[in-house]
Structure formats: structure tokens, C-alpha cells
Chains A and B, each alone.
Chain A
Amino acid sequence: MPLFALAFAFQEPAPGAVTSVLGALPVGTTLRGLIMVLVGAPLVFLAARGAKAWMTSRMHPQAGLVAGKIVLYGGLIIVAVSTLRELGFSLAPLLGAAGILGIALGFASQTSVSNVISGLFLIAERPFVVDDLIEVGDVKGRVISIDTLSVQLRTFDNRMVRIPNETLVKSQMINVTRFPVRRVDVRLGVAYKEDPSRIREMLLDVARKNPMCLMEPAPIVVFEGFGASSIDFLFGVWATQQNFLQLKTSIHQDIKARFDAEGVEIPFPHRTLYVGSQSDPFPVRMVGTAPAEPDVSPPSHDSAP
């Protein structure tokens, strides 16, 4: 009797029965088992796909992913158990062995179990869904899948980052795209000679003239305080998620252009270098006439390594 048959209390075929290539199994039983696998497995895959599509259309992609996986794994277990029973394996010893094995595996797979449970929390809490843009630590990317053990992100430079579910539950996570509108904050300083009321009106007018800047929620201009070399403002304008980056670029350009046109000075920090005594000027010594410029020709593209 083969060893695996002993282990799973395999029942011997009747004397004289035609046996299959597996040795001890009758051909009919083997065929039935084979048919169960060949028919059952594709059916399970189809059912998983259907469950995923149905739940996605009814609820959201995340629920679809989970439903698909539950149907897939559950269905495959049912097919496997049914096939084993058909082949004559008694499952009681198998389950007993699985219990002992489970304890051993449990100790060995604490991290995985923690990730699975964390995954269930993530599904229940729904802090993000597939396609959201999230920030975890110094990683920022779009969620491409939420799996049993981990969440996969695609970063802006098209790399895939796998973050264990446990890490997501434990750490601070920012969902950038949860809400449909976002504020672009521009912090700027103008020279002390400028009139703050005039600056405020100018900034609000810049916002009005930028079509991507939402009129509501209304833009804000906050006088933040007296800086070291400037009076400082916070200028906040709202944009839809789709226009956020474009507005961030264009509003800075608009402010610069408007300030230039209106002669508003944007001060910048000055630095004075002292060499030796603070009161002495920076020493400059003429050492003769400058040599002629060397004749440097641009490198040829052909000579590139």
C-alpha cells in the first residue's frame, strides 16, 4: 500500500477491479476525479470572475476584488475536497493532520496572518479604493490592487510598490484623491513697501482670471505675518483633482506675471560674505589681464560613449 494512501486512510479497491495509472485506484474513480477537476476548476474561475464583475457593478472595485477571491479560493477548496472524496480519501485524518500542521504553521506565519486580518480591516474601513492616490511614508502612488496580504501601488515613475496590509493599518496614510476638490496653497512674500490690501485684491483678481481656479470654494488670502524681509501671505485656490497640477503651475506663473506687470517686489534673502574681519570688504586682487578664451568646440554626438 502506498505511503500517501496510509496517511489519508485510502480504501483499497475490490479484488479484480481494473486499476489506473495511479496504481491502486480503479479507472472509473480516476476518471470521475479527473472530470471533477477539469470541469470544476474552470467553473470556479468563471464564478469568481462573475462574482467580481457583479460586485464591482453593484458596489465598488474593491468589493469586487474581495468577492472574486473569496469565490475563487472557496470554490477551489470545494473542488479539491470533493475530488479527494471521489478518489476515496477519508478527510478525517487529513483534517486532524491539518490541525496539527495549522498550529505549527500558525507560529511560523504570524506576519501573514496579521496581514490577512489587517486586510479585512482595510476592506471594512475603506480608507481608500482601487485607483485612489495615496501616500504612505515617503511612498506616493495610485492603488492598483488590494490583496489578501498587501496593497500594490503604482508610483508616478511607473514602479510597483507592495505595501503589507499590516503596515497600512499601523502607519499614517494620506488619501490624496478622496475628495473631489483640493486646495493649492501658495505661500509668498512681498516687500514691506507694498500695500497689503492692494496685494490681496491683486491675488483675488489673479484667481478670478484663471479659468481652472474654482470660484467656489472661494479663494483665500491670509496675511500670515511679518517675515524677516517680507510681509507674508498664504494664497489658497481650489481646483478639481483633475486640474490640480495644472492649476498649481499656472497660478504661480500668473502671480509672477502680475507682480512683474504691477511692479510688486518679491524680496529674496540676501547673503553677505565676510572674510576675516566683519568690517573689511571682500578682498579682490587683480592679477593681470584675462587670458584669451580657449577655442572649445562642442562635443560631437558621434563621440558619445
Chain B
Amino acid sequence: MTDPRPWGELDLAPGASTDLTIGTLHLTVKRTPTEIWLRSERGERTDEDHDDWERWSVPDDARVHLRPAAPDRLLVVSHEYPFHLPGRRKARVFVRLPVFAQVVLTSPEIDDVVALDEPSLVLSDTWWGNIREGELAYWLTTKARAEVSDELFVPHMAMCPVQLENESGEALPVDKFSVRGLHLSLFRAGPRIWTDEVKVTYLAAEEGSDIRFGKRPPVEQPDAQPISEPRVALRRGLQARTFDRLRSFSVLGG
């Protein structure tokens, strides 16, 4: 079970260590007089001695922070209950995304170092594009809720508000769409973690979709504070396929 408040600075005296669980990720951070030792594992935490530590040589005054970060690639969000969006209609859905856990080492003597960057949940891979070109993505099955409630917020998941706008003249079947995790910012309000709003405007099948990132807390939680910058910042939005899907893949010939 995820620790209730895992994020923030870890108070580690030399010789001390701490164990944390974030989603299915078990993390151990240990401090020696001159180094930080890190190790992570999945599944059941084991108590035996390990030799797979990752060691970082740091200055005496180095501090260790555990912070959430947005996923490091595209997410293909598949809906458990697909819906249709008629032409000229808007819909706002909320998607829970597993965050990445980053261990960041800071000190006035060195540049900030991301010593560990791992997903809180193991997500399956999928391919977004066609058989000749495309990009590797994570597969995420979600209910794509129309409303949020307190029990949906857990420390290892971020709530992503997606504003879908269908500007084409035809109904859009929304059984899955992509969310570009690399460009998401994270915000925090108490135990709630939010991403900025993703506004997807569907133009037409050939033109793809116009995607904009809010870069500020969503309207549902305007008091949320920024906790993580996007991995790849965008000055403006981008145009990309968001509702496209693979076709004719499952036949024997591929």
C-alpha cells in the first residue's frame, strides 16, 4: 500500500535508511557519511541482503527529495466504457495517471540530480501509430469519469482533466485517446495531485487534433501548487493524432 504522504524531503541522518512504498514500487534510501544508496523493487518487499544498490557520491550537505513526475512517454488511454461525442460537442473527462517517483539529490555544490525515476505502477507497452511508424506508449485502462471525488485521489496517481472538443461535423467514437505525458505539469493540493488541463480539439480524421496544455492548476483545484515541471516543455500546443487507432493489425499476416 502506498505510504500516505510519500512526497517531499526525506530526513536522513548518516547511517539512517528509509523504506517507502509508492504504488507497486518499493524504494529504500540509505545514507552513509559520503553517499546516498538507492534500491527499488516490485512485488513483495524482501528483507534479505541485496547487492543491487545504486550508489551516489554526494556532498555532506546534500538533501534527498522524493517527488512525483509525469509519465515519460505517451499514454494511450483506453476506456472501459467507450462513448461517442457528437459533432460540435464538448466533454470533460478525468483520467487517473500513475505518476513516476523521482529521487532528487540537491546541494549548493552540485546541480540537482535525478538519481531515480521509476513509475509507481508497471504499465503495459503499446504502439501508437501504424505498422511502419509510430511511437512507443503506455497502455492505460480507465473509466474516464465525468466527475471526481475524494476517494479517487491516491498519492501515486495524478488526476488529469481532459477537455475534448469535437469540431468536426461527425460523431467521434471515443474508445481511446492519447495523452502526451512528457508535456504534463503536476500540481498538488494536500493529498490531491493534479496535472494541468489537456485540451484536445478534434478537427477531422485527416487533420488530427489540436492539443493544448493548460500549464496551470485545473479549474477544479485552482489553489493547487506546482510540484513538477513538464519533462519536455512546449511553448505552444501541438497538432497530432489523438484519436487515431491501429487498424487491421490482428490478422495473421500482421
CA distance A234 to B253 in the complex (A): 12
Assess the A214–B123 pair: CB atoms within 8 A: no
Assess the B124–A213 pair: CB atoms within 8 A: yes
Q: Chain B residues near A236 (CB, 8 Å)?
A: 252, 254
Assess the B254–A211 pair: CB atoms within 8 A: no
Q: Which of B217-254 contact A (CB under 8 A)?
A: 245-246, 249-252, 254
B76 within 8 Å of A by Cβ? yes
Q: Chain B residues near A213 (CB, 8 Å)?
A: 124-125
Of B133-141, B161-169, B192-200, the one contacting chain A is B133-141
Of B76, B131, B250, the residue contacting A218 (CB under 8 A) is B250
Assess the B254–A214 pair: CB atoms within 8 A: no
A66 within 8 Å of B by Cβ? no
Assess the A218–B249 pair: CB atoms within 8 A: yes
CA distance A96 to B251 in the complex (A): 64
Interface size of B as a range: 20 to 34
Can you give 23 contacting A-B residue pairs, CB < 8 Å?
Answer: A179-B131, A180-B127, A180-B132, A181-B127, A181-B131, A183-B254, A210-B124, A211-B124, A211-B125, A212-B125, A213-B124, A214-B124, A214-B127, A215-B124, A215-B125, A215-B126, A216-B76, A217-B246, A218-B249, A220-B251, A222-B252, A234-B252, A240-B127
Known: A183-B254, A222-B252. A216 touches B126 (CB 8 A): yes
Binding site for B on A (CB under 8 A): 179-181, 183, 208, 210-218, 220, 222, 234, 236, 238-240, 243
| A interface SS class | loop
Known: A179-B132, A180-B134, A240-B136. A217 touches B124 (CB 8 A): no
Assess the A243–B250 pair: CB atoms within 8 A: no
Binding site for A on B (CB under 8 A): 76, 78, 122-129, 131-134, 136, 139, 245-246, 249-252, 254
Of A210, A216, A234, the residue contacting B127 (CB under 8 A) is A216
Chain B nearest Cβ from A127, distance in angstroms: 15
CA distance A236 to B129 in the complex (A): 19
- Beyond A211-B125, A215-B124, A217-B250, 15 extra complex contacts between A and B, CB < 8 Å: A180-B129, A180-B132, A180-B134, A214-B126, A214-B127, A215-B76, A215-B139, A216-B76, A216-B126, A216-B246, A218-B249, A220-B251, A222-B252, A236-B254, A240-B136
Instruction: Name the residue of chain B whose CB is nearest to the CB of A182.
Output: B254
